[in-house]
Amino acid sequence: MAAATVYLGFLLVALVFAYFKIFYRRLRAGEPPLAPGHFLWGNGKQFTDHAVKFLHAAHKKCGDVFTVRFLNQYWTMVLDIHSYEQFAKEKNFDFDAIQEQVNNNVFGYHIVDARKMISEAGQKVNGKHLFTSLENFANNLTEAFKQTASEADNATVTRENKTMINNMKNNSNILANEKRNDLYDLLETDVKKDYNIASIMASEKLLEQPSTFKADYFADSWSQDNLRNLASKTFFSPVFYTIFGREEAGKESNFHPQVFHKNFDQFHKYFNFLWLGLPVQMFPQAVEAAGILAQQPSSSDMVQREGCSDYIKFATEFMLRNNQTERDIICHNLVFLHVNYNTFRAVYWCMYKLMEDAEVMSAVRREVEEVVEAKRTGANQAEYEAEFTTEDINKLPVVDSFLKEVIRWTSGVFMVRKCVEDTAFTTASGQTFNIRKGDKVAIYPPVFHHDPEIFAEPETFKYDRFIDADFYKNGIKIKHPLIGFGSLCPGQKLSMLQIKWFIVNIVNSFKLELLEGEKTAPHTGMYGHEILPPTNDVLCRFRPREGAVTLKYINNYGSNGSKGLGGISSGNLL
């Protein structure tokens, strides 16, 4: 009994010692205050419950700069939007350690001479490469749209089509004609066989029908899909081909956009856990997905693929020069796909918001139709074409504001750095805080993006919020009100232009609608992702717009005025 008491005593002392050693922090002079949290776990639960609400509350209690704790890790939050530039320029706040953490913990590899590689590779999507990347993307987008449109035309028959067929059957005028009845039977039979309905429609029998009948038919010929699938087919596929080029015709493999999209989606669910250092083996589904994502062409085959991007070519050659392995190169390809996946997510939200609110759709459509009409050439509808340069794409105030609002509303990422030396950090208002070497320091853009003093009614989506607008905090105009790309993202311009060009094209070429009652929202439990995923997917229907003008992107790099892209400057969307 006495021995047990002594052991228990020792255990207690050891636990108390461990607590003070691992979790407890005595503040030094000049350090920011600690946000109140659980004595053991710190602020992790408050953060995962709803990061923005927690940080807004802590901001009110503690002021602009304070420290939160995730278990034994201390993160100092700089929640003053006017101090963004001071933060981004502080040389003791280092991003390399963070990028290393993602590469190592999530993708299990590391890049030799990473800073040099990322900054040189980053140039491969900017300057003249921005124009060629956009040109390649535009060509791949046209292909993807053609394919989606022909799939829609050839739609294998869904429940909806069956309803349509029933409606047709119920049409007494039509039913009067026995010959037509044969057609419905044929349609139904082919529904069951999963045949292609368009080829049936093209059959002689149908072409004999009166024109009103055909119009009715086409008015109802929608295809139905999950929004994620539709966005994947129309946007992720062209992005994938723009990055990795295309395989020789006739070769089928798992290195295919749809296979990669599905598995990336699966893998991404565990991103935050992996980033924080939990072993991937804890998540069998992530391991399975990673196994498929690792099935890529060899580095020598990859750079030979038709249309392989300059970014991938440069990064592959750089890594080979540094004797990195094929495995490292495969992992780097995945990291690059991962950063591009953010653009896909933003596109998902653009499509959702266009469909969710008729006012948004009609405002965006009006602007697109006006510009397409102004640029249209060609003698008749079949020949109508409109050409757009990068500047044209960038000069659409409604599309621009709509996209910025999507980013404001859905961005979820930290701008996080590791403090590499004890640092006295002075905010824009002149307050100085001592930041401890080894701590993380972060700006959290969603806190600003949802601040009612900066953005009136921040939870309301206002597509025109950014048109000719200035934003203020504490009566001072904000230099960088929208910082969803942080200060370092080299893909910001490309990403914004790809999305804008996609919006112009999708609105021009397709009709899109959500199915009745379908709703989703950004998943606030996933704060930490650059763009938040949806809580659930939604069903939508779409069909090609008849008589849509063919749109073309023109790479006019080098011509007068093409180098200064008004409206996008690095590190700042406005």
Positions that interact with ligand HEM (CB under 6 A): 95, 99, 118, 125, 339-340, 342-343, 346, 411, 413, 415, 484-491, 494-495, 530-531
Provide the token pair at 297: 């062409």
Minimum CB–partner distance for residue 487 and ligand HEM (Å): 4
Minimum CB–partner distance for residue 311 and ligand HEM (Å): 6
Minimum CB–partner distance for residue 344 and ligand HEM (Å): 8
Reduce the secondary structure of 238-279 to three states and give it as a string: HHHHHHHEECCCCCCCCCCHHHHHHHHHHHHCCHHHHHCCCC
CA atoms 388, 393, 394, 395: torsion sign: positive
How does DSSP assign 182-215, residue by residue?
HHHHHHHHHHHHT-BHHHHHTSHHHHTS-HHHHH
Minimum CB–partner distance for residue 25 and ligand HEM (Å): 25
Q: Which is nearer to ligand HEM, 51 or 415 (CB)?
A: 415
Q: Which of 338, 342, 470 is nearest to 406 (CA)?
A: 342
Minimum CB–partner distance for residue 372 and ligand HEM (Å): 25
Q: Which is nearer to ligand HEM, 504 or 548 (CB)?
A: 504
Minimum CB–partner distance for residue 235 and ligand HEM (Å): 12
- ∠ CA 358-361-366, nearest 5°, is 125
Q: Which residue is nearest to ligand HEM (CB)?
A: 491
Instruction: Find out whether 489 is annotated in a ligand binding site.
Output: yes
Q: Which is nearer to ligand HEM, 34 or 351 (CB)?
A: 351
Q: Which is nearer to ligand HEM, 319 or 415 (CB)?
A: 415
CB 447 within 8 A of CB 467: no
Question: How far is Cα 337 from Cα 340, in angstroms, rounded to an integer?
Answer: 5
Between helix 326-356 and helix 358-375 the angle, nearest 10°, is 100
Q: Which is nearer to ligand HEM, 206 or 339 (CB)?
A: 339
Torsion from C-alpha of 552, 558, 560, 565, nearest 10 degrees? 70
Minimum CB–partner distance for residue 119 and ligand HEM (Å): 7
- The set of residues, in sequence order, having a beta carbon less than 8 Å from that of 94 and lying 6+ positions away, is 417, 418, 419, 420
Q: Which is nearer to ligand HEM, 283 or 527 (CB)?
A: 527
| Interstrand relation of 440-443 and 73-78 (parallel, antiparallel or unpaired) | parallel
Residue with tokens 């994620």: 228
Provide the token pair at 118: 């990322």
CB 447 within 8 A of CB 413: no
Q: Which residues pair with 432 in a beta bridge?
A: 426
**What H or E segment, with its residue span, contains residue 69?**
strand 65-70
Q: Which is nearer to ligand HEM, 411 or 423 (CB)?
A: 411
Q: Which is nearer to ligand HEM, 109 or 485 (CB)?
A: 485
Q: Which is nearer to ligand HEM, 31 or 400 (CB)?
A: 400
Minimum CB–partner distance for residue 93 and ligand HEM (Å): 10
Instruction: Give the Cβ contact number of residue 554 at 10 Å.
Output: 15
Q: Which is nearer to ligand HEM, 57 or 488 (CB)?
A: 488
Minimum CB–partner distance for residue 339 and ligand HEM (Å): 4
Query: What residue type is 354 in one-letter code?
Result: L
Minimum CB–partner distance for residue 410 and ligand HEM (Å): 9
CA atoms 74, 75, 80, 84: torsion sign: positive
How does DSSP assign 281-329, residue by residue?
GG-HHHHHHHHHHT----HHHHHHSEEE-HHHHHHHHHHHHTT--HHHH
| Interstrand relation of 93-94 and 73-78 (parallel, antiparallel or unpaired) | unpaired
Provide the token pair at 168: 């047709």
Minimum CB–partner distance for residue 179 and ligand HEM (Å): 54
Q: Which is nearer to ligand HEM, 23 or 95 (CB)?
A: 95
Q: Where are the beta strands (DSSP E) in 334-405?
A: 376-377, 385-388
Cite the annotated binding site for heme by residue number.
489
Which residues are annotated as part of the binding site?
489
